[in-house]
């Protein structure tokens, strides 16, 4: 994880494998951020969202005990040449991501850091996934004027780059980017530098790579086109 080390551990009484994420905290602000992550995760109960079992607070760190997934990051499946993801694979992954995000949004939570590194496969062979890392998630009240300035440039929506108000479509933009990557192996906004990437994002400057999308259905392209649109 970005903010902590993750270790595999076993619950002695049950033999259950779990993941322990140990997050170093320096000062009250960082502690509050981790507590926010715990509060968000305590509200989650969905097959496509990682489950928090317990949390322990110590002087210099907080440990989150979560379900253990050993299938690796979705990112690795995208970059692994031998995986040969089909359009059907992409549909199965995207559907689960959408169902997880729908649950979050129904519970007034924005993830705000959706990217293939934050989607884990449950096991090495199957297509079941779970969304992880709620370190940047925010509770959201409809019509609230919420602004954020963090995340990974490739997956950021224009309103994040521009420091405008964020809402549910902010997450859906990232779902569009992930879907594009699942179908093509390419990143739609990636430039030579972060600044160039963010410039492409702000201008909503992307297209379908002719070769990569040649064999793909119009429905797949239409799905992406409806997500990668700038909020008016």
User: Where do the domains of the chain lie, and which CATH numbers do they carry?
Assistant: 4-67 (3.30.200.20), 74-227 (1.10.510.10)
CA gap 156, 164 in Å, rounded: 12
Q: Phi/psi of residue 142, each to 5°?
A: -50, 140
- Catalytically annotated residues: 113
The SS3 assignment for 7 reads strand
pLDDT per residue rounded down to tens, the chain (232 residues) = 446 789 999 999 999 999 999 999 988 999 999 999 999 999 999 999 999 999 999 999 999 999 999 999 999 888 887 778 899 999 999 999 999 999 999 999 999 999 999 999 999 888 999 999 999 999 998 778 888 878 889 999 999 999 999 999 999 999 999 999 999 999 999 999 999 999 999 999 999 999 999 999 999 999 999 999 987 5
CA gap 226, 220 in Å, rounded: 10
């Amino acid at each position: 994880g970005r903010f902590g080390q993750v270790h595999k551990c076993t619950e002695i009484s049950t033999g259950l494998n779990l993941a322990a994420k140990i997050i170093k905290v320096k000062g009250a602000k960082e502690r509050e951020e981790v507590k926010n992550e715990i509060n968000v995760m305590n509200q989650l109960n969905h097959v496509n969202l990682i489950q928090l079992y317990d949390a322990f607070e110590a002087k210099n760190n907080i440990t989150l005990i979560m379900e253990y997934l050993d299938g690796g990051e979705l990112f690795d499946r995208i970059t692994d040449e031998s995986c040969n993801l089909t359009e059907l694979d992409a549909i199965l992954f995207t559907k689960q991501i959408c169902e997880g995000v729908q649950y979050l949004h129904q519970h007034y939570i924005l993830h705000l850091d959706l990217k293939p590194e934050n989607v884990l496969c449950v096991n090495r062979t199957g297509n079941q996934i779970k969304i992880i890392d709620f370190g940047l998630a925010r509770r959201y009240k409809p019509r609230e004027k919420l602004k954020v300035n963090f995340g990974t440039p490739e997956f950021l929506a224009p309103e994040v780059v521009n420091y405008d108000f964020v809402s549910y479509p902010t997450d859906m933009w990232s779902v569009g980017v992930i879907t594009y990557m699942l179908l093509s192996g390419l990143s739609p906004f990636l430039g030579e530098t972060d600044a160039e990437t963010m410039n492409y994002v702000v201008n909503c400057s992307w297209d379908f790579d002719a070769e990569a999308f040649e064999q793909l259905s119009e429905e797949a392209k239409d799905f992406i086109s409806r997500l990668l649109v700038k909020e008016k």
